[in-house]
Amino acid sequence: MTISTEGPKNFFGELYLRSTRPFLADAVSDAEAAFLEARLREGDASGLVLDFGCGHGRHLSRLAKRLPGRVVGIDADQLSLGEARSSAPVTRGNFFRLPFRDDAFGAAYCWYNTLGTFCDDAVPVALAELARCVRPGGWFMVHGTPPHAATWQPEASYDAVLPDGSRLVENVRFEEATLRDTLKRELHLPDGRFMAASFFIRYYGVSEWEALLDAAGFSVRWVHGGVDGSALSDASLDQIVGAQKRG
């Protein structure tokens, strides 16, 4: 059986940065970084911390100041890494064959539905690689949208002008059978260029994460419904799962 480990083509890179960053408020990123730091300290996660899918470094840049010399990032997009590397050491690499030695990290985190952009059969491969690179007793935190939140608006569209003058057009449809949002995004730039990509985001419930993480060698220790540390509920917009590597 062939496992598909390809992410969305033509999405990450300039299209992602131009169309997503305007919606990532500094206050939100600050709160998320503070949450990550607190959980790392509470969990006594010593050693290096891996930002798995660091992108342009919105968490990496903040944690590098809070945990100097301890944060490392990896991503597949060279354009995003050009920004991230000004904050901390980063590398361009394959999420399914990480370029790190065994037990290299005391903790890792993956934010913003990153793993949900890959096919279901690829996620266990990525988790197995993360488990290989996180030492026994180390932590892994994964953030995403809980499936119930996606059902609130099964179909949605967006058509507006962004601060840089670009026109963003997006159509989203949620497929309950697969727990996926299928999206088509178009960006019309002021310089006349046009970018477009189709992709999906898969939303995993807590029971699915428990099974996936258990198979990779992690045990779930806590679940939160937001960076305020609240319990996950039917009203939660976020789902954050913290797991510890066994052994």
Query: Could you tell me the fold of the domain covering 14-148+204-245?
Result: Rossmann fold (3.40.50)
* Confidence at residue 101, expressed as pLDDT on a 0 to 100 scale: 98
Q: Which residue has the tokens 């197995």?
A: 128
pLDDT in tens, 155-210: 999 999 999 999 999 999 999 999 999 999 999 999 999 999 999 999 999 999 99
**Of the candidates 109, 102, 57, 63, which has an alpha carbon nearest to the alpha carbon of residue 83?**
57
Domain segments of the chain: what residues? 14-148+204-245, 149-200
Spell out where 35-176 has E strands.
49-52, 71-75, 90-92, 105-110, 134-144, 155-161, 167-175
> In this predicted model, which residue has the larger pLDDT, 46 or 75?
75
- Looking at residue 7, its pLDDT comes to 66
Alpha carbons 85 and 69: distance in angstroms, whole number = 13
CA dist 87 → 57, 120, 247 (Å): 7, 32, 33
Res. 18: pLDDT tops 70: yes
**For 130-164, how does the pLDDT look when each residue is reduced to its tens digit (9 = 90+)?**
999 999 999 999 999 999 999 999 999 999 999 99
d(CA 73, CA 88): 7
Task: Decide the pairing of beta strands 71-75 and 180-188.
Answer: unpaired
* pTM > 0.75: yes or no: yes
Structurally, what CATH architecture does the domain formed by 149-200 represent?
Single Sheet (2.20)
Q: Is the pLDDT of residue 90 over 80?
A: yes
Tokens standing for residue 19:
């169309």
